[in-house]
């Protein structure tokens, strides 16, 4: 194959997918820039924690050898506990089913801020660059930014999340983002001492407690309370004294799919009261995290979930493409969106490497797009049914987060 002149790749969005692509291109010596709309690395919270499963070996293989060990992003550090994700029937705190990290089936729950810093190793992110327009001319692509500047390259990758400006360029006025009809409230709090031990004994990393609506009572709805440790809190001796926790309560609610959902207008007080009311079918062991949360700990406005299904007609096999949430955002109930964004990045880095070695551009960009969409659309469809299904199978889904679930007896924790 004749070698193409090394392409320059413009990556729009410095989130999980965009930065992973950047690292994979850095390893292949392919020129790229990452443009991020945030004004600086810490201009907003990166969220709490994210579970990475079934992708860790590939992550190590695709990323450059000079990266610090990925274990440094582990949200449990400095606690020496394996990642553990548990699902409960909300009325049965005694039955623990889920997954625990083992050498054969590794799970890494990453603190999101640390993960972004890790993925940004040796990548000079261009902050304050919000893409607002794209033009394609003579085999080159120019991205215009809100600050009036522009950049030109050979490829543009929309890794700019669920409200992607690059997707809007590809779809024009036909954007098909869909609101997921589930009402959510989220709370944050720091717990310490015995409460931290109690929470860790329920699950080291995160747990979901489900209360399915009784089939004979149409006034009731499915409820799921998800609780996670963002990171332990240490005292001046470096000893773990507590933890930053977060929780999300999800309730099936068709009214959310309106232009102005009620949760967007609710006060912190109202969201907390609603959460306490919705958590009532759950055992006290699960409800207490909600009861302990102060009104100031409620996130406003709360999350609105979206999903989208694209087809190969939406993304020409050319110089502008998408990855991650920009192409296939979905609700978080199967914990797949981030893992799939990583897989997209590996596949796109492979396609761009082949093109830089002289491979046919249309062939490799079409192959990437088709694989990425097939995987993404399947996950979006599976996730659509996941909330109701998880609630109705309560604590016993046979597979969760990539691995078969098992019963994991409760163990005593000493801090
Ligand atoms: C509550 C919750 C829990 C989740 N838990 C998990 C989990 O456990 N496991 C899992 O695999 N997935 C999980 N996900 C999904 C996961 O967070 C996403 O799928 C993942 O972040 C997608 O990565 P991305 O890089 O495509 O997009 P993002 O992470 O959204 O990054 C997009 C980046 O683009 C930037 N940007 C946006 N617009 C522009 C623009 N116009 N110009 C320049 N930059 C722009 C944004 O600021 C952002 O930095 C969860 C999601 C939620 C909401």
Residue 176's CB: how many other CB atoms inside 10 A? 11
E strand or H helix at 289, and its extent?
Answer: helix 284-291
Query: Distance (Å, rounded) from C-alpha 170 to C-alpha 168?
Result: 5
Tokens for 253, please give them.
Answer: 């609610």
Residue 221, both tokens: 């709805």
Tell which atom from ligand 1 comes closest to the C-alpha of 324: 26
CA distance 256 to 252: 9
> 360: which residues sit within 8 A by CB, 6+ positions away?
none
Its sign, for the CA torsion 349, 352, 356, 359, is positive
Residue 397 has what pLDDT? 63
| 2 pLDDT above the threshold of 70 | no
Mean pLDDT for 99-111 is: 92
Asked whether residue 273 carries a pLDDT value surpassing 80, the answer given is: yes
The full length of the chain comes to 415
Q: Which residues of 347-371 are buried (b: 16+ CB within 10 A; e: fewer)?
A: bbbbbbbbbbeebebeebbbbbbeb
The residue among 142, 143, 141 whose CA lies nearest residue 164 is 143
Distance (Å, rounded) from C-alpha 88 to C-alpha 281? 13
Query: Which ligand 1 atom sits nearest the alpha carbon of residue 326?
Result: 26
Mean pLDDT of 290-311: 95
pLDDT at 394 over 70: no
Ligand 1 mutation pick, 116, 325, 346, max ligand atoms within 8 A of CB: 325
Which atom belonging to ligand 1 lies closest to the Cα atom of 164? Answer: 38
CA–centroid distance, residue 161 to ligand 1 (Å): 5
Would you state the pLDDT for residue 327?
Answer: 98
Centre of ligand 1 from the C-alpha of residue 178, in Å: 16
- The closest residue, in CA terms, to atom 48 on ligand 1 is 15
Residue 189 is predicted with a pLDDT of 97
Rounded Cα distance between 109 and 17, Å, is 17
Write the residue with the smallest CA distance to atom 21 of ligand 1: 338
Burial profile 36-64: b = 16 or more Cβ within 10 angstroms, e = fewer: bbbeeeeeeebebbbbbbbbbeebeebbe
Q: Whose CA is nearest to atom 26 of ligand 1?
A: 324
Give the nearest ligand 1 atom to 339 CA: 11
Residue 140 has pLDDT above 90, yes or no: yes
* Mean local confidence (pLDDT), 141-145: 98
Per CATH, the number for 8-46+112-178+306-386 is 3.50.50.60
List residues near ligand 1 (CB under 6 A).
12-18, 35-38, 50-51, 129-131, 159-161, 165, 303, 324-326, 332, 335-339, 341
User: What DSSP line would sit under 131-189, residue for residue?
Assistant: EEEEEEETTEEEEEETTS-EEEESEEEE---TT-HHHHHHHGGG---EE-SEEEEEEEE
* Neighbour tally for 212: CB within 10 Å: 21
Pocket test for ligand 1, best of 51, 54, 205, 341 (most atoms within 8 A of CB): 341
Quick one: average pLDDT of 82-101? 92
Query: ipTM, 2 decimals?
Result: 0.99
Nearest atom, ligand 1, residue 14 CA: 49
**CA-166 nearest atom, ligand 1:** 41
- Report the share of the chain in percent with pLDDT over 70: 96
Query: Average pLDDT in the 19-36 region?
Result: 97
Q: Which pLDDT belongs to residue 386?
A: 83
Q: How far is the CA of 16 from the centre of ligand 1 (A)?
A: 7
Distance from C-alpha of 82 to C-alpha of 103, rounded to nearest angstrom? 10
**How would you classify residue 402: left for phi > 0, otherwise alpha for psi between -120 and 50, otherwise beta?**
left
Ligand 1 centroid – CA 218 distance (Å): 35
pLDDT higher than threshold 70 for residue 3: no
Angle between helix 337-356 and 16-27 (nearest 10): 30
Torsion of CA 65, 71, 73, 74, to 10 degrees: 160
Q: Which atom of ligand 1 is nearest to the CA of 329?
A: 19
- Atom 53 in ligand 1: which residue has the minimum CA distance? 332
396 alpha carbon – ligand 1 mean position (Å): 28
**Ligand 1 center from residue 47 Cα (angstroms):** 9
Give the residue whose CA is nearest to atom 4 of ligand 1: 332
Q: To which residue do tokens 């090394």 refer?
A: 6
Could you give the angle at the alpha carbon of 170 between the alpha carbons of 350 and 4, nearest 5°?
A: 35
Where are any strands of DSSP class E within 213-324? 223-234, 240-252, 306-307, 320-322
Strand partners, 89: 210
Q: Ligand 1: which atom is nearest the Cα of residue 51?
A: 8
* Separation of CA 15 and ligand 1 centre (Å): 6
DSSP 49-102: EEEEES-HHHHHHHS-TTSPPGGGGBTTTTS----EEEEEETT-TT--EEEE--
pLDDT reported for residue 217: 78
**pLDDT reported for residue 392:** 73
Is residue 205 helix, strand or coil? coil
Mean pLDDT of 8-15: 98
Distances (CA, A) of 338 to 54, 140, 190, 402: 12, 30, 26, 13
Q: Which residue has the tokens 């761009």?
A: 352
């Amino acid at each position: 194959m004749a070698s193409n002149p090394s392409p320059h790749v413009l990556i729009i969005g410095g989130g999980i997918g965009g930065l992973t692509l950047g690292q994979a291109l850095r390893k292949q010596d392919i020129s790229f820039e990452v443009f991020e709309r945030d004004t600086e690395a810490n201009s907003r919270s990166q969220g709490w924690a994210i579970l990475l499963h079934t992708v860790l070996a590939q992550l190590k293989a695709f990323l450059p050898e000079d990266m610090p060990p990925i274990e440094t992003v582990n949200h449990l550090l400095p606690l020496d506990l394996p990642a553990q994700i548990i699902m409960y029937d909300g009325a049965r705190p005694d039955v623990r089913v889920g997954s625990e990290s083992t050498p054969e089936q590794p799970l890494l729950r990453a603190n999101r801020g640390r993960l972004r810093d890790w993925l940004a190793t040796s990548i000079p992110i261009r902050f304050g660059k919000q893409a607002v327009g794209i033009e394609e001319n003579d085999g080159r692509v120019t991205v215009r930014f809100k600050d009036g500047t522009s950049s030109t390259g050979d490829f543009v990758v929309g890794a700019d999340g669920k409200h992607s400006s690059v997707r809007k360029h590809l779809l024009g006025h036909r954007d098909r983002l869909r609101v997921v009809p589930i009402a959510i409230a989220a709370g944050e709090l720091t717990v310490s001492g015995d409460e931290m031990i109690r929470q860790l004994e329920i699950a080291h990393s995160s747990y979901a407690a489900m209360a399915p609506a009784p089939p004979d009572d149409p006034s009731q709805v499915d409820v799921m309370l998800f609780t996670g440790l963002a990171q332990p809190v240490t005292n001046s001796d470096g000893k773990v004294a507590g933890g930053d926790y977060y929780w999300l309560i999800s309730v099936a609610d068709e009214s959310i799919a309106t232009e102005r959902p009620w949760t967007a207008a609710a006060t912190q007080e109202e969201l907390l009261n609603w959460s306490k009311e919705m958590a009532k079918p759950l055992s006290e062991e699960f409800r207490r995290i909600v009861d302990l949360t102060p009104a100031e700990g409620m996130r406003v406005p709360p999350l609105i979930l979206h999903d989208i299904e694209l087809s190969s007609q939406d993304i020409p096999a050319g110089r502008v493409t998408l990855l991650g949430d920009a192409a296939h955002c979905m609700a978080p109930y199967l914990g797949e969106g981030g893992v799939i964004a990583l897989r997209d990045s590996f596949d796109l880095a492979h396609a761009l490497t082949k093109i830089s070695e002289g491979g046919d551009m249309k062939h490799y960009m079409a192959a990437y797009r088709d694989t990425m969409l097939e995987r993404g659309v399947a996950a979006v469809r599976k996730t659509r049914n996941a909330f109701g299904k998880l609630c109705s199978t309560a604590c016993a889904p046979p597979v969760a987060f990539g691995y078969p679930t098992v019963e994991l007896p409760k163990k005593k924790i000493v801090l």
